[in-house]
Chains A and B, each alone.
Chain A
Amino acid sequence: MRIACLWVPELPLVAVLRAEPSLVSTMLAVVQPAPGDAKGVLSSRLRLVGAAGAEGVVAGQTLAEAQALCPELRVRLASPERVRAAAQAAVDAAASVTPRLEEAAPGLVFLDVGGLESLIGDEAAVARELLRASERVGLCAAVGLAEGKAAARLAARAAAADARPRRTRAGVGGGALRVVPRDEQRAFLEHLTLAQAEVSPDLAAAARRFGLATLGELARLPRRELSLRLGPEGVALHRLAHGEDDSHLVARQLPEPFEEGEELDWSAASVEPLLFLWKALLDRLCARMAARGLAAAELCLLLRLAGGAWDERRIELAAPTREVGPLLTLLRLEVEARPPPEGVCAVRLSARPAREASDQLGLFGPRTASPTQLSAAVARLAALVGPDRVGQPCAPDVHRPNAFAVERFAPPAAAALDGAPQPQTGVQRREAANEDPAQVALAIRALRPPRTAEVRCGDEGQPRLVIGEGALGGRVTASAGPWRTVAEWWTDSPVALDSWDLELAGGLLLRASRELDSGAWWIEAVYD
C-alpha cells in the first residue's frame, strides 16, 4: 500500500514559529522546564526542546549551555496550547488531501494515497499538494511517500533534512518532500544509516559493535542469527531493511471541534490586547477550516483566569462562516458585554464546524448570492447589529401586542419554491379575485416599546383626546373599539387590555390600549 507520511519535525519549535512567524529568521530556542521544576525560572533547569538558526545549539541542552554558545539566542517557552493546535493543523492539512488518514503521534500523520492519481496527479503531485496544504495551515512539514508506513516515515525523515522554514502569510512554510518509487525502495533503505533509521540507542550501540553502519549491511546478514544476537528489535529492523512492513493504516475519525490556543506571559486586564490574540487565533482557525471546506457554526471561547478557573463563552453564529472580521467583532461584543472577573492568562478558541452550504447557480442570468456569501453576510450583519437582531422574522402564536420572534435565517433553495404553489392569503386572494389595481393592505408599524400616553375619554367612554410623546397626540376624530384581550393570566406578566383604533385630527391612525388593572394608556402601533 502506498503511504504518505506528513511529519512536522521539531513540533514545539514549529508551533512557536506558526504563532510568531516573525521569529523565522532569528536564532530561536524553545525551552521547557525540567521535570519537577514547574516554574522553570532557572536557565540551568530549562531544557531545549527545539532550536533553529544557532550553530551548536541543539535540543537537549540546558538554556544556560545554549546561551553560553549563542548569547543572542531568543527564547520562548514551549506552549502546550500551541503544540496541540499545530498537531491538529497537521491533521487538517492531511485531511484536505484524503480522509483516509491516521494520526500516529502529534505532528505525525500517515495517509493512504491510493486512488488520488485521478484527483491530483502522480505521487510527486500528491506530495506537493500535502506540502501546500501544510503551508496553508502555517506549518513547515516534511512529506515522505513510499510503500508502507515505516518506509514512508523514513522518507519523511530524509526529506526533513532539506526543510528550511520560511515565513508565509499563514505562518511558516518551506517544507520538503521525498517520494520513493516502488522499484527504488530497496536501494533507498540500504543507504540509510542506523541513526537515520531511528534505531534505539542500545540497538545502535550493539550494531556498531558488529561493525554495522547502514541498513544495507544489516539486510545482508541472516535473519535467524541476527535474532539470536539482537533480539526481536533486530529482526524488525532486518525486515524493514528488506522493505517488509506488516503495519496497516488505521483510519480514524477526525476530531470534530477545531481548537487554537495561546498562553499569555502576562495577565490581560482589558479587551484590546486580547483582540490581537484572537485575530491570530481566528486566522489560523479559519485557515484550517478552509483546508477542509468547513465553516464555523458555533464559537466557544475559553478564558483561563488569573486564579486558574476557566471562563467559558459560547457564541452561536447566525450562519456558518469563516470570515475573521465578523467573528472577531462577535468575540469582542461578547466579552465587552460580560467582562471576565479577573485578568486572562490563557485563551482557547474552538469552533464547531458545519459544512459549507452549496447551491447550483444558474448558467444564464446574473449571479445571485451563493449560500456561503449569504452566510458570511448574515454573520457580518450579526457582528454589526448583534446576533439577536438579525434573522428570519416569525410571528409567535401569542396574543401579546407586537409579539415577534427571530429565528436563524435559513432560506429554502429557490428550486424548492419552483412549482410549489405559494400560499395565498388575505389580500392576495382579494387581489386575485377583484384585480383591484390600487389596493394593498394597511400595515401596522409597531412601537417597541409602546409609548405612554394620556387619553381623555368622553362621558360614553370613547377617547376624545390623546396626549402622547412627540407627535403621537391630537384630537380624536374617529374611533372604534374597545376590543378586549385577556391572555397569559397564568404567567407573571398577564395581558389584560382594551384596544382602540383611533384617527387623530391630522389623519394619523393609531392603535391604543388601556390596561385593565392600572388604567394606563399605551400607544402600541401606528397604521401606515
Chain B
Amino acid sequence: VIAPVDNPAQRLPPADSPALADLLRTGQVRRAQQAQGRPSRPPLSIGVPGLDAALGGGLSRGQLHEIVAPPSAGGTALLRAALASALRAGELCALIDPADAFDPRGARAAGLDLRRLLWVRPATLPQALRAAEIALEARFALVALDLADASGPRAAQARQRGAAAAAQRERGVHLVRFGPPRKSERISPSPWARLSRRAEQHGGALVVLARAPQAGAFAAATVELSRARARWVGSPGTAGRLLQAGCALGAVARSRRGPPSAPLLLQLPVLDEGAAEDGGAEPGEAE
C-alpha cells in the first residue's frame, strides 16, 4: 500500500520513474501503462533493412503506413518485399488489389509463400476500402492495400476516355506523363480514420501503396520512393541487351517515431523467374 505523503518533496522519486512521481503527486493508484497494453509483438520488416531502421524497427502492428511512389520507382517491389518478410515469419497476409495487378508467378519466384496470402480483387475503390477493413477485423497480420493504379470507377472512366481519344486521333503523337492525382481525386479522410482505427483495434499492420499521399495524418509513417535511372546491360540492338535493374531513392518522409530519414539508394534487380524457381540465376547472367 502506498500512502500519500505529506510532503512529496521529501521523497523525491528517481528521475526515471515519472509514473511514481505522478502517484506521489496525486495520491491516486492508476493502472500501470505497460500492464494495460497488449503484449507487444515485434514490428514487421518492410524487407529493406535500411528502411526498417529508419522506421524504428519496421512496420508497427496496429498502425497504418503509406508507400508513395511513382510508377517504376519500386513501390510494388517494396510492398511485395514487406509481404514476403511477413509471410516468411509465418504471418497471415492479405493483399487488396483493385487494379488486379498482382503477378503470382513473379511473387512465387521472389520467395512469397502464397499459401498464407489472401488475394482480394475488388472492382471498385469503395469495395477495396471495405475489403481492407474486413481483413483487418479478421486479424490478418499485414494487410496490403494496393491503390497504385486504382482510383476505381474514375480510373476506368479515364481509361475509356483515353481509348476514345486514341480512336479519334489518327496518326498524331500524344505524350502523356504520369503525375500525382489532383486534390479532388484524393480519397476523403474518413475511410483512413476508420481503417487506422481498425488496425489499432485488431493489431494488424496496414500498408497502402499509392502514387500520392492519401492517408495524411492517419498514417504512422510514409515511405517515399522516387525513380532513378534504370540499369541496362549489353549493347543496344544486340541479343545480349537486358534490363538489369531498376533503381530508386527511398526515404521515410514522415514518421511518428522519428525524424525523416536520409534517402537510400534501392537496387531493384529484375528477377529471372524461370531461373529463380530452378536454381536462382543472377539477373543479367545471360549476358
| Interface of A toward B, CB cutoff 8 Å | 364-369, 373-374, 376-378, 380-381, 384-386, 389-395, 402-406, 409-412, 414, 417-418, 422-430, 436-448, 452, 454, 460, 462, 465, 467, 469-471, 473-475, 478-481, 501, 503, 506-509, 525-528
Contacts and interface: CB of A to CB of B under 8 A. Distances in A.
14 contacts: A365-B41, A366-B203, A368-B139, A377-B135, A404-B102, A404-B103, A411-B92, A427-B269, A437-B48, A469-B166, A473-B176, A481-B241, A508-B72, A509-B230
Contacts of A428: 84, 110-111
Interface bracket on B: 35 or more
Nearest to B128: A385
Query: B39, B103, B131: which has the most chain A beta carbons within 10 Å?
Result: B103
B247 to A, nearest CB: 10
Contacts of B127: 384-385
Nearest to B81: A440
B171 to A, nearest CB: 9
A369 B268 contact: no
Interface stretch (B1-9, B22-30, B186-194, B275-283): B275-283
A526 B138 CA distance: 32
A430 B108 CA distance: 15
Contacts of A381: 118, 120, 131, 134-135
B246 to A, nearest CB: 5
A465 B39 contact: no
B90 A418 contact: yes
A91 to B, nearest CB: 33
A376 B134 CA distance: 10
A448 B100 contact: yes
Contacts of B227: 507
B162 interface: yes
B80 interface: yes
B229 interface: yes
Main secondary structure of the interface of A (DSSP, over half): mixed
B74 interface: yes
A441 B270 contact: yes
Main secondary structure of the interface of B (DSSP, over half): mixed
B103 A525 contact: yes
B154 interface: no
Contacts, number: 271
B225 to A, nearest CB: 10
Contacts of B122: 384-385, 389
Nearest to A451: B159
A527 B248 CA distance: 12
Contact of A373 (B95, B131, B138, B173): B138
Contacts of A365: 39, 41
Contact of A465 (B71, B162, B166, B173): B173
Q: Which 10 A-B pairs have the closest CB atoms?
A: A426-B276, A377-B138, A395-B105, A369-B139, A528-B76, A442-B268, A393-B104, A445-B101, A443-B76, A440-B81
A369 B138 contact: yes
Contact of A402 (B103, B159, B265): B103
B234 A480 contact: yes
B57 interface: no
Contact of B109 (A367, A426, A475, A509): A426
A361 to B, nearest CB: 11
B200 interface: no
Contact of A385 (B123, B176, B264): B123
